[in-house]
Structure 1
């Protein structure tokens, strides 16, 4: 069926609940992507093309590795405007501004709470002098995460960015707890530098995705618990067997291997809300 006077807009991913107005709004604002991003997602996973006519979605086309499927729908748009976001990437580069691993900065205090059985571990730092991350409005973004403890997503208050505070300690549970890892132990990973680039030479390039998230489970787009504002995606940090352990601090064997890994070789999703200075961290694998 041809729809005259229509336009195409693109979304990264395919898990979209068109019957849930609030969730659809979050998807449009977070997963809306430009044409280059559409091609990236349709090559690696699935991307969605929306055919829009008179402020209504009239057709949904899912594109995946050269295949496509279509569905005629009639869904009113919950918002009129949303951005077509551009992807960018973090590539390994010894001269890069950003780093994963290395020692925790001496002035950064790792979050802690009495509900934690295992410690937060320093993951890395994003240098916000890079124009790609200037919107974060902090001098730098230090990222730490409790690698060896279950949680359903962590909100951290970065109002004082050197001493972030856990907002939702009820998120922690002990399902992964290994008694060999005490709260006072700290693991240090080998340092790897990264640079931000707007284009990849090849999809085979090892890279960390920025701009728009690629979900490996259902989308989990957070809302700031302090303000109710939608949080903005920062980046995805990948597990990486090439980033080994610099110092295990006396721990003989780490639960998931002696290298940087998020659960069963998963990914850490990082979101930020610049007005409230709240960070959200969640892994998927």
Structure 2
């Protein structure tokens, strides 16, 4: 019988059917080339529908190794995954790109009206005219309070031109990260169009397809429907600043206002398409 191989871009997995690990496997299932390029991951091998081998990939001194590990007794009955392999999608700047990073609020998309301690910034949009994102219910315009010390943000896009804060009470307790930023601060970023293209590794700008977790796997649940949310993309670096009324408190602080970035972290963006709830949070080292 032919052996079937499956590749997951995470290590230290448990193949018992536990829901936590199944969520990771479904989210991170990919191809062998991606594991080799990333220098991490797990390969599982089936024969006659039975799990027969498990290998872990790891990097040491820039060399990639594939090491067999024992199958635990409680993993022997693990059924082969039914999930479709995914590819990393990395951003490529293109004047004809369907998606946009940067820009500003307009009649197509308004800043959230609720008042918190800092202002919201416009980040760009992910366009559902791209067949890869046809599952999105609309062109998804993105906004986030970059300079707010918030753990997690939920926005209700029931009116997708005028999103409302869903967890307002939590955000009202959050303070600005920098003293020179407040509710009247304005900063916008140069608009740049881009496309996504399949890749075996992540870029340093915008990625989609498979999340690149920095502080551990976390798929949010929608606070409105209770359903698991779907990964849209993550942003590490955006475009340069176009205009701003913020006066940096020091030469060092100028760095935080020269381009779209999240204090060295990645911004993760998820949506629950039926409830129209969007979730955003950061992970960093």
TM-score of Structure 1 vs Structure 2, range by shorter chain: 0.7 to 0.9
Could you say what the CA RMSD is over the residues aligned between the two structures, in angstroms?
A: 2.9
Distance 1:53 1:150, change over 3 A: farther
In 2, Cα distance between equivalents of 1:15 and 1:218: 12
Tell me, which stretches of 5 or more residues in structure 1 are unaligned?
Answer: none
In 2, Cα distance between equivalents of 1:229 and 1:79: 24
Residue 213 (1) aligns with residue 207 (2): no
| Paired residue secondary structure (2:70) | strand
Residue 61 (1) aligns with residue 59 (2): no
In 2, Cα distance between equivalents of 1:31 and 1:185: 38
In 1, Cα distance between equivalents of 2:52 and 2:113: 49
Q: Tell me the TM-score normalized by structure 1.
A: 0.82
In 1, Cα distance between equivalents of 2:15 and 2:169: 31
Cα deviation, residue 88, structure 1: 2.6
The aligned runs of 1:241-280 (5 Å cut-off) are: 243-252=239-248, 256-263=256-263, 265-280=264-279
Q: Is the 8 A contact 2:121 2:187 kept in 1?
A: yes
The aligned runs of 1:1-285 (5 Å cut-off) are: 7-14=4-11, 16=13, 21-33=18-30, 35=31, 38-52=32-46, 59-65=53-59, 66-74=64-72, 75=75, 76-77=77-78, 81-114=82-115, 116-138=116-138, 140-172=139-171, 174=174, 176-199=176-199, 208-240=206-238, 243-252=239-248, 256-263=256-263, 265-285=264-284
In 2, Cα distance between equivalents of 1:106 and 1:251: 28
Cα deviation, residue 57, structure 1: 5.0
More deviation, 243-252/90-99? 243-252
Cα deviation, residue 124, structure 1: 0.9
In 2, Cα distance between equivalents of 1:64 and 1:118: 42
| Paired residue secondary structure (1:73) | coil
In 2, Cα distance between equivalents of 1:109 and 1:189: 16
Distance 1:22 1:121, change over 3 A: same
Q: Is the 8 A contact 1:12 1:214 kept in 2?
A: no
Distance 1:278 1:254, change over 3 A: farther
Deviations 1:173-194 (A, max 9, x none): 5465333212122210112221
Tell me, which stretches of 5 or more residues in structure 2 are unaligned?
Answer: none
In 1, Cα distance between equivalents of 2:246 and 2:149: 22
Report the count of equivalent residues: 272
